[in-house]
Amino acid sequence: MKKITIAIDGFSSTGKSTLAKQLAKELEYVYVDTGAMYRAVAFFAMQHNLIGANFFDKDALVSALPKIQLEFKFNADLGFAEMYLNGENVEKQIRTIEVSNFVSKVATVSEVRSKLVEQQQEMGKNKGIVMDGRDIGTVVFPDAELKIFMTASAETRAQRRFDELQAKGDNVTYEEVLKNVVERDNLDTSREDSPLVIADDAIEIDNSYLNKEEQFDAVLELVNDVVKTA
């Protein structure tokens, strides 16, 4: 069966990664979580005091980019690849609300986007890949055979994210998570370089009232239809 490129874009906390992992497993495709890459860069900036609540030294981060080595390593026990920053597994650290508060700011830096987009395009050059993020269908793979754009209300997304963080033991409030979701939406859609937009040929899915199984079944049907005609 011919392999294709599947690009999944959308707002934060819409379940892009969950859907992408499901599809990759079902299709035996490579899965790449581009959000983890930007989170890792944000975590690096936090570690080196380049970003904080009231400051962001963009020039210093750009200068440090050659020192940032990102790699995905497959974890057989978990069934998916984890993010490594300069040889260290940072999968847990990059999923915190603190990193979430800074990741969209880091993603506005053109030099950061250029470095990561180049890596992402290299990863997907042989197709058979599912990649999720903010600009996959518009910038990374504008010729992807299937483009999905996922959305849901801010309140729904905040509740999902809050429940997820609570399950991990993080001490956060729903109001704090909702504020983060709204702020990230504004930053993602208003940045000058590769803002979050729906590609002209993307299929929009509002999953506010869909469970994971319903969403997966609907998208898998789309995949099968595209593969048949590819």
DSSP code, position 127? S
d(C-alpha 212, C-alpha 70), whole Å: 29
Place of tokens 């993010």: 83
Q: Where are the alpha helices (DSSP H) in 5-93?
A: 16-27, 34-47, 58-64
Q: Is 153 annotated as a binding residue?
A: no
Q: Which amino acid is at 211?
A: N
Domain boundaries, the chain: 5-224
Judge whether 87 is annotated as a binding position: no
Residue whose pair of structure tokens reads 């980019």 in the numeric block: 65
Q: Is 127 annotated as a binding residue?
A: no
Rounded Cα distance between 16 and 78, Å, is: 18
pTM: 0.85
* Among the four given CATH numbers 3.40.50.20, 3.40.50.1820, 3.20.20.70, 3.40.50.300, the one describing domain 5-224: 3.40.50.300
pLDDT tens across the length of the chain (230 residues): 789 999 999 999 999 999 999 999 999 898 999 999 999 999 999 999 999 999 999 999 999 999 999 999 888 887 778 999 999 999 999 999 999 999 999 999 999 999 999 999 999 999 999 999 999 999 999 999 999 999 999 999 999 999 999 999 988 999 999 999 999 999 999 998 999 999 999 999 999 999 999 999 999 999 999 998 87
18 carries a ligand binding annotation = yes
80 is in an annotated binding site: no
Tell whether 16 is in a known binding site. Answer: yes
